[in-house]
Amino acid sequence: MEIDSTFVDRLRGRSDRLFDLLANFHQPRILVVGDLTLDEFLTGQVERLSREAPVLIVRHETTQQVPGGGANAVYNLAQLGAQVKVAGLVGQDQQGEALKRIFTEAGVDVSGMFPDRDRPTVTKTRVSAHARQSVTQQVVRIDRKSDAPPAGECLQAVANYIRDQIDTVDAVVCSDYGEGVLSPATIAAALSHPLTVVDTQKHLERYRGATLFTPNLPEAELAVGYAIDSLESLQQAGKDLIELTQAKYMLLTRGDAGMSLFDAWGNHEDIPAFNRTDVFDVTGAGDTVVAALSVGLALQGSAWEAAVLGNLAASLVVRQFGTSTTNAADMRRMLATLLEPGMLPEVG
């Protein structure tokens, strides 16, 4: 894991501050407004080909249910130790109940999860199979969702809940996966908070005035309308995105190229990837970035400090398969490893 020595020196200079932020990850109160998804993973062993059709017969072995989409941001925050509230919609079905159960067990306040009688909980079921003594591979994915927009009264209930909770939280996170929960009414309610972090796949301009945006490279290219394939185009994109959104900060996540942080005052800083070699699965890593940096900002860390924490968290979850999370203790250990042996401070 090679990181530029100049950047490591900067990390060392801010190490006391970064360790202090990590030690206080349990303090922030954060509200997540998002498109809530349940990810299901069904695995089994292939027995034979069916006589009914040319398909595999898979004997079921395990089923795992984990939060996905905007729900993954909620769960990441809870695992990091933050005090979390969630605002969103679920169907009146077993999948919606499963999400509520998972959140409740993680200590999340679920009073802002409202039932939508006309739409199912968005669910992505991945069926994976293996033969004897062979690796498990995904065979098919089944999606449950509705193309119809949420009912107006459901969206209003979410918006009302957000406004009721605004003064009780330190930050608001908008996790927009395009399923309709982030309507003009809910966005306006969320943006009434002075610290709002936005993670959206498209239409960044709908969130004009938010504190910080976290587009990945394809999302940023879609927003600006041109390829970001050079230092010059990267710097121009940062300026254009700030202009488009009127945000204070824009954090472009660039995969193994790290992150680029831009601000409304014309500054640009690059943060290298902390893990380029042990990458097994990037699923959900963006949600992890959003969660960790939101906690950092809620603790009044600088945008650079928050971005470093987001990068640190993401570098841990990409080492695991599937949608996964990390915690502040693991982040402390990895930060100490990045700096040098013996850097891990005592925690009272």
Q: What is the pLDDT of residues 96-143, one digit of tens each?
A: 999 999 999 999 999 999 999 999 999 999 999 999 888 889 999 999
Q: Are 271 and 255 in contact (CB under 8 A)?
A: no
Q: Is the pLDDT of residue 321 over 90?
A: no
**Given 35, 176, 199, 287, which residue is catalytic?**
287
Higher pLDDT, 324 or 53: 53
Q: Is the pLDDT of residue 279 over 60?
A: no
Q: In what order do the strands lie in the sheet with 171-176?
A: 109-116, 83-91, 29-34, 171-176, 196-200, 212-213, 249-253, 259-263, 268-271
CA angle 12, 18, 24 (to 5 degrees): 155
Residues in the chain: 348
Higher pLDDT, 241 or 282: 241
In this structure, what DSSP letter does residue 178 have? Answer: S
Using a CB cutoff of 8 Å and minimum separation of 24, what contacts does 55-61 make? Answer: 56/129, 56/139, 58/127, 58/129, 58/139
pTM score over 0.95: no
User: Considering only 73-87, 130-144, 211-225, which range has the smallest mean pLDDT?
Assistant: 130-144
Residue 53: the pLDDT is: 94
Q: Mean pLDDT of all residues in the chain?
A: 90
Phi-psi domain of 121 (left: phi exceeds 0; alpha: psi -120 through 50; beta: other): beta
Give the CA radius of gyration of the chain: 21
Per-residue b or e along 82-95, where b marks 16 or more CB atoms closer than 10 Å to that residue's CB: bbbbbbbbbbeeeb
Question: Among the CATH numbers 3.40.640.10, 3.40.50.1980, 3.40.1190.20, 2.40.30.10, which is that of 5-37+68-122+147-339?
Answer: 3.40.1190.20
Q: Are 236 and 216 in contact (CB under 8 A)?
A: no
Q: Is the pLDDT of residue 200 over 50?
A: yes
Is residue 118 flagged as an active site residue?
no
Per-residue b or e along 275-288, where b marks 16 or more CB atoms closer than 10 Å to that residue's CB: bbeeeeeebbbbbb
Distance between the two ends of the chain, CA-based, in angstroms?
30
Residue 245: the pLDDT is: 98
Question: What confidence tier does 4 reach under pLDDT thresholds 50, 70, 90?
Answer: confident
DSSP assignments along 218-231, one per residue: HHHHHHHTS---SH
User: Considering only 89-103, 207-221, 261-275, 298-312, which range has the smallest mean pLDDT?
Assistant: 261-275
Residue 154: how many CB atoms within 10 A of its CB? 21
pLDDT over 90, % of the chain: 77
Listed residue (213, 295, 216) closest to 256, CA to CA: 216
Matching residue, tokens 């006391």 = 16
